[in-house]
Amino acid sequence: MELFTNQVLAGIATGAIYACMALAVVMIYQAIDHLNFAQGEMAMFSTFISWQLMQWGVSYWAAFVITLAFSFVAGIAIERILFKPLAKAPVLTNVAGFIALFAIINSSAGLIWDFTIKQYPTPFGSAPFLGSQLISTHQAGMIGVTVLLLLGLYFFFQYTRIGLAMRAAASVPESARLVGINTSWMIALGWGMATAIGSIAGMLIAPVVFLEPNMMGGVLIYGFAAAVLGGLSSPFGAVVGGFLVGVFENLAGTYIPGVGNELKLPIALALIISVLVVKPAGLFGRQIVKRV
């Protein structure tokens, strides 16, 4: 039983990483209706920016704020320059654009900061949390930040005019335009916010997985899986999905014989697909109604 509780706790700790990433994925999915494959790389690049700032002697929290602002602006710029011209292009062409963006960011980061692993500081310290060996204060801090972020987003979308406008632009663009919402800029704003959330995720994840250009590869896959499991239309579902994926991955690795680190990912994905076969819109997602 103790092994079980420990594994669940460890799973929650890694799950926090996935939850963070999944939240960013869902944010951009809400704004633009596509899964952005370059999301992880964008987060990685932002994290490198904050690392560079700290190397230049800026304090952690100042670097944090500057990076957040930089990511927000960069996200908007990427949308305006690269993806606005593709707005009328087919969906699959847009996906190809994400893959191109992935290649560009990954390769540039590799050239600027090279591929060696770098240490990244944590603001929360890394002592055991409440005497548990499995959860450190950093991981507890990460869970706290994720929950705060989720609450903030909920209030933003539910109780502010601009949040309402973004929701309208995403769900019924035609009608939103008729009531005077600038839907094109709402999409850009969505990109900016998603990039900023991604950068928070990156800065929280970096102390755990270490900083290098490919650090987001695995995390993003789990982030997508978590977002899809929770339902792509629900930020709350994304966070729950993240924790579930983290816990399940750990339990599968411990209890199913023959599953080493190698097979953890396929098994976690297989479980998610079985869930989707039963609930095609994810655990907390809205069922999409199609009109003929």
- Residues in Cβ contact with 6 at an 8 Å cutoff, skipping those fewer than 6 apart: 134
Query: Please, which of residues 155-174 interact with another protein by CB under 8 A?
Result: 157-158, 167, 171
Site string for another protein, 258-277 (x = CB under 8 A): ----xx-xx--xx-xx--xx
Three-class SS of residue 292? coil
- Closest by Cα among 223, 234, 232 to 268: 223
Interface of this chain with another protein, residues 58 to 97, rule: CB under 8 A: 82, 85-86, 88-93, 95-97
Rounded distance between C-alpha atoms, residue 236 and residue 241, angstroms = 8
Give which of 174, 242, 219 is closest to 13, Cα–Cα.
242
Enumerate the β-bridge partners of residue 129: 132
Q: Does 248 bind another protein (CB under 8 A)?
A: no
Q: How many residues belong to the site for another protein (CB under 8 A)?
A: 55
Per-residue tokens: 152:
């903030």
CB closer to another protein, 136 vs 146: 146
Name which position in 3, 130, 178, 288 contacts another protein (CB under 8 A).
288
- The CB-of-41 to another protein minimum distance in angstroms stands at 10
Return the range that interacts with another protein (CB under 8 A); candidates 52-60, 63-71, 106-114, 186-194: 106-114
Pick out residues in 33-52 that bind another protein (CB under 8 A).
Answer: 35
Least separation in angstroms between residue 14's CB and another protein is: 18
Distance CA 64, CA 14 (A): 22
Tokens for 153, please give them: 């987003």
Minimal distance, residue 182 CB to another protein, in Å: 19
Q: How far apart are CA 57 and CA 116, in angstroms?
A: 21
Q: Closest CB to another protein among 89 and 148?
A: 89
Minimum CB distance to another protein, residue 141 (Å):
27
Interface stretch with another protein, choices 50-58, 98-106, 120-128, 245-253 (CB under 8 A): 98-106
Residues in region 210-239 near another protein by CB under 8 A: 221, 224-225, 228, 232-235
Site for another protein in 3-32 (CB under 8 A): 30
DSSP label at residue 29: H
Short-list 247, 277, 230, 229, CA closest to 9: 247
Task: Classify 132 as helix, strand or coil.
Answer: strand
What DSSP element (H or E) covers 203? helix 183-209
> Does residue 135 contact residue 9 with C-beta atoms inside 8 Å?
yes
Residues that bind another protein (CB under 8 A): 30, 35, 82, 85-86, 88-93, 95-97, 99-104, 106-108, 110-111, 157-158, 167, 171, 221, 224-225, 228, 232-235, 262-263, 265-266, 269-270, 272-273, 276-277, 280, 286-292
